[in-house]
Amino acid sequence: MIIHHPLLGPRDASEFTYLGDAALIHRPDWEAEDALDQFIDYGYLRSNPAGLHRELWFHEGGDRSWLVVTRDTTTHEITKVELARDVARQEGRSK
């Protein structure tokens, strides 16, 4: 499996480690009224789609950037790769 790193081009999947659902970058606000419920959802509840899945990969054997990879769980086809920091910035976080 080849992952097309947005900065470094095609890299073998063996250079990467997998974390899980890309929703993990949406860490809840610990000061919120319902922080406990939010963290239970954040920590334990995952959707398990058969099809397109956005997930976090870490370029451990490379430049150590976090990526948001869109992968089809039924075919392993990767249709989109973004830097996680760009995704977070688009959502107005990390300035």
Partner 1 sequence: MSDRSNDMIPRTPLGGTEPRVDTHGPVTLTEVTNTAIASFASRLGQESTAQDVLAKFLGTPVPEAGRAVFGDALGAFWTGPDQWMVTAPHTSHEDLAAQLVPLANGSASITEQNDAWCRFDLLGDGLADVFERLCPFNIRACSGGEATRTSIDHLGCFVVVADPTHIMVMGPRSSAGSLHHALMTAIRSAH
From residue 94, give the alpha-carbon distance in Å to each of 2, 5, 38, 69.
29, 21, 20, 20
**DSSP category for residue 24:** G
Nearer to partner 1 (CB atom), residue 54 or residue 85: 85
Q: Is position 92 an interface residue for partner 1 (rule: CB under 8 A)?
A: no
Give min distance, CB of 71 to partner 1, in A: 20
Q: Which of 29, 37, 41, 63 binds partner 1 (CB under 8 A)?
A: 63
Q: Is position 11 an interface residue for partner 1 (rule: CB under 8 A)?
A: yes
Residue 50's DSSP bridge partners are none
Candidate segments 18-26, 35-43, 56-64, 72-80, binder of partner 1 by CB under 8 A = 56-64
